[in-house]
Structure 1
Amino acid sequence: MKPDSERRSIRYEGYDYSMAGYYALTICARNKTHLFGSLVSGETLQPTILGRIVADELTNITVRFPTVRVDTSVVMPNHLHLILVLTRNHAVVLGEVISDFKSGCYTKWRHQLLAIDQPAPPSCWQRNYYDRIIRNAAELEGYRKYILDNPSRW
């Protein structure tokens, strides 16, 4: 594995991720393992403990970051899709929000596992995340539809 200083960034070079706007994100579970639950009847997530934590932490993003809003989201067995809205320029950087979210989920999950004498893996998340900067209303509607339809395509 390359040291952090040699890893290629998957962010858009030169883009200011503290600019207000809509961002479509995909965040994957470690090794794409089904850590968040399983789909029943093809479309409804039966969440694990971690799946419930992830859903709760999504709602808490706006508490920790008042200038950030979750527009649309879905938690799948091994990943989640969401659209985050930064409502004010330079109030927070997108990566800071994602880092805080991932850290909060893992910390709560780890504490719950240790409380029931189960070992906690070193992480529940794949390194990094995938993002798309949403540039207009048509893209926004397309991403919303993609996210909401994701369980039926699973």
Structure 2
Amino acid sequence: MEPLPERRSIRYAGYDYDMAGYYSLTLCAQGKAHLFGMLPPDAPLQLSALGETVVAELLALADHYPTIRLDTWVLMPNHVHLLLALTHNRAVSVSQLVGSFKSRCYQEWRRALLAAGHTAPPSCWQRNYYERIIRSPGELEAQRHYILDNPSRWNTM
């Protein structure tokens, strides 16, 4: 039997993702489906049940990980952008935080689906996530603007 090919990592080779600093993350819904809600023109996101769970879990991140600070975030119909700061070295890694967050969101959503007599898909999240290491105050400010302006660009895509 042939060994499976190694998965290509999208992480920055050699970087230690449990070091204090700012990180910009994008997590996508499975298949980029609009699972988190609907975004009508010139109106805020109308959250689905899963969208409500994602927001609640975002707001609870610092409760689960006291050494992080959620800076800026926006939930879109099929993805979430967040800018967070790890405030202490080696207290938690970005991948640990993302994995735990995705798991809590999915488990809560799955529990609600099953309680309502529905079947639950195997996941609500796309495998992996996108990250950007923030390296300067200018880049930090640019990421904040990008995240906050994301809804206004949605209907022009």
Aligned to 2:107: 107
Aligned to 1:127: 127
TM-score (norm 2): 0.94
Which whole-Å CA distance do the structure 1 matches of 2:142 and 2:73 have between them?
13
Shift of 1:43: 4.2
The code of the aligned residue for 1:95 comes to S
Which whole-Å CA distance do the structure 2 matches of 1:21 and 1:31 have between them?
30
What RMSD in Å do the two structures reach over aligned CA positions?
1.2
Aligned to 2:35: 35
The code of the aligned residue for 1:14 comes to G
Shift of 1:41: 3.2
**Which protein shows a greater Rg?**
2
Equivalenced residue count is 152
Aligned to 1:63: 63
The code of the aligned residue for 2:45 comes to L
How does 1:86-97 map onto structure 2 within 5 Å?
Answer: 86-97=86-97
Aligned to 2:146: 146
Which whole-Å CA distance do the structure 1 matches of 2:35 and 2:17 have between them?
29
Identity of aligned residues (%): 59
TM-score (norm 1): 0.96
Secondary structure of 1:40's counterpart equals coil
State the Cα deviation string for residues 62-111 of structure 1 (Å, max 9, x = none): 00100011100000000010001100011111100000000000000000
Moved over 3 A (4+): none
Residues 28 and 129, structure 1, Cα contact 8 Å, conserved in 2? yes
State the Cα deviation string for residues 83-142 of structure 1 (Å, max 9, x = none): 011000111111000000000000000000001001100000000000000001100000
Aligned to 2:76: 76
The code of the aligned residue for 2:101 comes to F
The code of the aligned residue for 1:105 comes to C
